[in-house]
Every structure is written in C-alpha cells, then in structure tokens.
Amino acid sequence: MKFMNTIEKDSSRLNRKSSISGCFCIRFFRKTISGLRLDALALGALMASGFAGTSALADIRIGATVSETGPAAFLGDPEARTLRLLVEKINAAGGVNGEQLKLFLYDDGGDPNKARTFATRLVEDDEVQAIIGGTTTGTSMSIIPIAEEAEIPFISLAGAIEIIDPVKEWVFKTPHTDRMACEKIFADMKKQGYTKIGLISGTDGFGASMRKQCLDVVGGYGIEVVGDESYGPQDADMTPQLTNLKGKPGIQAILNPGFGQGPSIVTRNYAQLGIRLPLYQSHGVASDGFIALAGKDAAEGVRLPGTALLVAGLLPDGDPQKPVVTAYIEDYKGSHGTAPTTFGGYAHDALRIYVDAVKRAGSAEPAAVRDAIEATSGLVGTTGVVTYSPKDHLGLDLSAFRLLEIRNGSWALAE
Amino acid sequence: MRLSEKQWTLLILAALIALSPFFFPSSYYYRVGSLIFVNGLAVTGIVILTGYAGQISLGHAGFAGIGAYACALAPAHLGLHPALALVLGAAISGVLAFLVGRPILRLKGYYLAVASLGLGILVAMALANESWITGGPDGIKVADLGLRAVLKSQGLDLSNTEFWYAFTGLALLIGAWLALNLHDSPTGRALRALHGSEIAARTVGIDVARAKLAAFVISAVYASVSGSLLALQNRFITPDVAGYMHSIEMVTMAVLGGAGSVLGAIFGAGILTMLPQVLTVFAEYEQLMLGLVMMLVMIFMRQGLLPSVLRLIRGRGE
C-alpha cells in the first residue's frame, strides 16, 4: 500500500520535473535521486514480497509536533503521552485496516519557527499522511501552510478560532474555541443575574485571545464589563489589579481568561484580599494541577467551563461520553499513574477522529481521509460529540462544555 | 593568481551553498539550510559589532522583530510591497539603533549590553501586548514575497523550500561580502583598532563613538533583514522572534563559531540551528548539551570553534 503511494508520488514528481525547460543543476540531480529512490523502492517491494511471502503491509504514517517542553509544556506533555499511548494500544489491537500506525513525534518547544521546520520534516522526510499537533495557536498557524501545500489533513490541538475560521480545506481542530468558553460562562452569569463584571486576563496568547473573544460576545448577554485588567504571564502577584476591580462600583463577578500559573495566583490573591464576588476561570486551567497550585481553600467555589473528562465519575450512566472518557482515563492511569488532563483529551480525540476516518476511507490516502474526516458525524470524544461538515471544521457545540465548580478540592457539575 | 582571505571565504561559502543540495536526501534539508542562512545573516551582523568592534549587544532579536513585523504590517496597512517592507524595516531598525546607540556608545564599558537588552525586551513586549495592530502573542500572517511566482513565469519552477534556500543563500553571500569588505575599509580598521584599545585608537585620531555607532547601526540592519527573511519565508510570525532567548542565541552562535571571523560565525549558526534537529531524540537534554559545548569552547577554544581549528591545522603545517 505504502510502497504504491510513494512510487506514485515519486513518479508524479518526476513528471512534473521533466516538464521544466529551465536548466538547474540541483533539479537535475534531484531528478536522478528520485529515480534512484524509485528503483530502490521497487527493489525493496520485491524483496519484501519475496521474503515474507505475504503482501507488503506498510504502515500508516502519522506525524505530530507538540510542545512537550517550553512554556506550553503542561499542554503538550499530556498530548505527547496520549499519542504514544494510544498508537501503542491501537497497534497492539491489530492496527487500522490491518496496517500498523507509525507515529513520528517531535517536540517544538512551543516555538512556531521550530514547529514549521518539524512540519516540513514530517512532510518531506518522514512522508507522513497526516499531521496532528500544534499545541499552541502560534505553532498551529505555522503548520497550516505546510499541510495545505502538501495536501495532507492537519488536526490542530489549539484553541483559537482563527485556525478553522475561515474554513480551510485540510485543517480541522479538536478543542473548543475561546469564544465558546466565553459564551458558556456568560450564559451562566446571565442565569445568575450578574450584569456588571470585571475581567482580569493574562497577556499571553491564550489570555489575550480569549479576552478579545469575550469582549466580542459579552454584549449579547446584557452584561457590561466595568473593569478590564491584565497581568504578564510571569507575574507573581496580582493584588493591585484585583484591588482595582474590587473597587469598581456595582461589580458582581470577575472572569479570569488565562492559563498556566497566572490564574492560580489570581485565585490565591483573590482569597487573600477576601473578595466575596464569584470568580470564573477559563477552560485553560481545567486540570487538577490548578486546584493544587491555587490551594484547596482559595479555589473553593471557582466556576469554569470544562470537559466531561474532569468529571467522569459524576456523569450520569446514560451519558454518551461516559464510556469513552472512562476508558481513556483508565488507559492513561494504567501507563502513567495519574489521571489525564483536558489537554491530553484533545490529542486523544484528534487521533480517534483520524483513525475513524481512515477506517471509513478504507485507506490512508490523504485526500480520501480528508473527505472522510469532513464527513465525521456523531463521533464521541472526550471533549464532546464531534460532527464536522464542509462549513464547520470545529464540530462541537456548547453542549460539549460542562459548567464545573470546585467543591472541597475537587470538581463538581454546577448545572 | 593568489586569492586573498576575503575571496577564499566567499568562495568556500558559495561552494557550500551551491553544492550542499547534492547531498540532500529530501527537500526538508532545504528548509534547515535556509534557516541556517537566515541565522547566519544575523550572526554576520554580530561579527561586525562584537568581532570587529568588541561591543556586546543582548537585544539584537528586537531588531529582528522589527524587520519581521515590518514585513507583516506594512503590506497589510500601508499597501507596501513586501520587498519594500523589508527595506522599511531595515531603515526603522537602523534609525532606532542610531537613536539608542548615540548616547550610549559615548560611554566606555558594557553599557551597550544593558541598553540593548532593555531595548530588545521592550520591542518584544510591545509586539506581544499591542495586539490591536500586531495580532498579539498568537502571531500574525505575513504577505507573500511574490518572487517565486515571477521566477515561475520565467520558466524556473522552484518548490517553496528550494526557492527560500536559494534566496536566503544569496542574501547571506551578499551579507558576508559586505561584512568582509567592511573588515578592510577605514571604518573596519577603526573598529578593530578600538577593539584592541580605545585609548590607543583615540590617540591616533579615530572618532571612537562614531565608529562604534556605525557598527551598531550596521549590525542592527543585518538583524532586521534576517528577521524579515524569516517572516517572509514562514509567512507567519509571532513575537518570539524578538524574544530575549533569540538575542542570546545570536550571540552564542557568533561566539561558538568564532566572533572574529565571518565564516566561523556562520559555521556557529549552522551548528546551533542543526543541533535541535539532530537532537530530537534527546530533546530534553538539548540545553544541557548546548551549555556543555559552549563551556568547552570558551575554555579550550577562546577564539571560537573555526578559527581555533584552523590555527591548529596551520600550526601543524608550519
């Protein structure tokens, strides 16, 4: 299968090249090289079939570049672990369509420039048939042109709406957008009758993007933003900003778009200042690590939109996501000893969506798989139930978000 | 005919750029190559500032950021062609370097390092926080240079990676040629003289402050062009390009390869650009290895890798 693909690809390269009239020594050489490679491949295919006496079963090659280290490591690390774990598991169960999955995973450290280089490497050197990854919006945006040019499906693990809006033929994503998180939070605020709120957001990519989206949609809920503060991603104290917000006349609730250590510090300072207003956090801190960092007492009563993964045990038995999240949590605990985070869930869903599409397409041929991904319907993931369409490459709606509240140091459903 | 050292350097560089593709197993290597050239260009600027004039800047990524964002913003807001945006970025960087450098470089000692450090951080902060124009920390799209399409209409159809390999390679050659010319010009001599001893340079009638300022401005322009080329190549840029770590990387590349020699510095850029690609298996130990290499070079090869090795070879020959 794979050999055929490569040979086709190489010969099309050859054709393209021979049509060029301009003389260029590099081209000439590469032509020769691809010719040689073609021979070598044909020879390899012959040998493989001769030796094993079976049809040459090749691998389905999946590329991934995630931020396993660097500032976004707490997102990228569980993503990388999840991909390795699931690929191993799928292969142990016999692979997909009888073919084994082969994962090429690189760590881009959250640097968009490196992400682009690794994406080039995945496409050109490893010759992968799809790319999963792009932990942050920046890295995802730099991978997109590569995937588009190579015409292979790319499933991003980053939040921003720009990734899939406008819809790009080869690009999909698994996490909710910032805008949906804002909408979920504002819907709850409206229900509680809050009309005047304060914002305190991080100036990192996540915080800045979510703040913008929240300000965009807040008007539709009859809510007024009376205070708008910010903090740097490395700041160690947010009491001045919070004191400012506290003093705003008529303020009823505070929302903190941000991820990383910032929101934990905000939450701690919030308790230290004795602010009695309800505090809303974003989905960016939906992990047990947040409660541990902020402290059980300070985090009490904090509300945030999260996924089913965090509250697997609390889901009613009829919930379609329950078996999926429970199975994933057990697998992850089994190999890593800790429960997975929401972010690992993004990678889990991306791989499931891809594998499901390959099964339906009957092959890993990129164009066919892309069409199959776009036709994904009712696929139950950890983040939600995914249904893509030619106009929607996000595939989730607000129902996938659960409003969670922290009670006694653990998660509870607020609705 | 006997070739001068300058001609040798350019010849070796041109040969390396032209012949390397013969050994590329896939077109991914073109991408790595063009990254090396882009970094090499910035590092050539560092050679002029640090290698020739002995001044240290810890904020050159700030100029790279200005160059990169000029290419992102000027075509979108002013309707400038990306190539002109590159020139505009270089001009802004040059003027900024002049304004910052003029008061600072009148002083002796390491004031430039501190001032440029602050400048670099300020640029990075501005790019990250002024999201209404820069797109914030998530980055911004960059317009297409359009040169590839022009070449295609002329019958030379290069893939994206091949085009950027050739284009940045050419830019590096020009950059290296200019830097080497500067080396033996009156300004270059003045710079090297003040590197040796500022007092001695002053006594022979060199305007020390002016010479240092010239070096700072020129190297800022180099960094800016390198940032522009990176942005145009990636078609997408984030404020990371102006980050503190990028400044340190530039200085490290120059010092590792040999800050006094253009070829050495480019060699250093090559090593440090390739290292993360080679070490993907040991990604977690990358920093450790980098530190170790750096320490060994500083202890045993204080001139930098390439000059020390060359000296060793020549020493044996004599």
Q: Which residue of B25, B136, B154 is in closest CB contact with A205?
A: B136
Class of the CATH domain delimited by A178-312+401-413: alpha beta
The reply to whether A175 touches chain B by the CB within 8 Å rule is no
What's the pTM value of the predicted model, to 2 decimals? 0.81
Please report the pLDDT score of residue B284 as a whole number.
Answer: 66
The average pLDDT across B37-42 equals 96
In whole angstroms, give the CA distance from residue B262 to residue B219: 13
Cα nearest neighbour of A16 on chain B: B157
pLDDT at residue A23 is higher than 50: no
Picking from B160, B168, B229, B238 by the largest number of A CB atoms within 10 A of its own CB, the best residue to mutate is B238
Complex ipTM more than 0.85, yes or no:
no
Please tell me what DSSP assigns to residue A283: G
Residue that the structure tokens 């720009």 belong to = A162
In angstroms, the Cα distances linking B291 to B250, B272, B294 are 15, 11, 5
Please report the pLDDT score of residue A371 as a whole number.
Answer: 95
The reply to whether A31 touches chain B by the CB within 8 Å rule is no
The reply to whether B243 touches chain A by the CB within 8 Å rule is no
CB contact under 8 A, A112 and B128: no
Read off the CATH number of the domain in which B233 is found.
1.10.3470
Amino acid at B130: E
Cα nearest neighbour of A116 on chain B: B234
Number of domains in chain B: 1
Residues 6+ apart with CB under 8 A from B178: none
pLDDT at residue A165 is higher than 60: yes
Alpha-carbon gap: B73 to the closest alpha carbon of chain A (Å): 17
Output the CATH code of domain A60-176+321-396. Answer: 3.40.50.2300
pLDDT at residue B317 is higher than 70: no
Tell me how far apart the 2 most distant CA atoms of chain A are, in Å: 81
Q: Which residue of A106, A113, A137 is in closest CB contact with B280?
A: A106
pLDDT, tens digit (0-9, with 9 covering 90-100), for B207-222: 999 999 999 999 999 9
CB contact under 8 A, A123 and B155: no
Domain boundaries of chain A, sorted by first residue: 2-44, 60-176+321-396, 178-312+401-413
Residues of chain B contacting A137 with CB distance shorter than 8 Å: 138-139
Q: Which residue of A68, A117, A205 is in closest CB contact with B31?
A: A117
The pairing of strands A303-306 and A402-407 is: antiparallel
Please report the pLDDT score of residue A49 as a whole number.
Answer: 39
The reply to whether B14 touches chain A by the CB within 8 Å rule is no
The average pLDDT across A226-230 equals 93
Q: Do domains A60-176+321-396 and A178-312+401-413 have the same CATH topology?
A: yes
Average confidence score pLDDT of chain B: 89
Residue B316 — very low, low, confident or very high, per pLDDT cuts 50/70/90? low
Alpha-carbon gap: A136 to the closest alpha carbon of chain B (Å): 8
Cα nearest neighbour of B275 on chain A: A114
Please report the pLDDT score of residue B283 as a whole number.
Answer: 63
Question: Which structural domain range is residue B185 located in?
Answer: 5-317
Residues of chain B contacting A120 with CB distance shorter than 8 Å: 28, 31, 161
Please report the pLDDT score of residue A304 as a whole number.
Answer: 92
Alpha-carbon gap: A361 to the closest alpha carbon of chain B (Å): 29
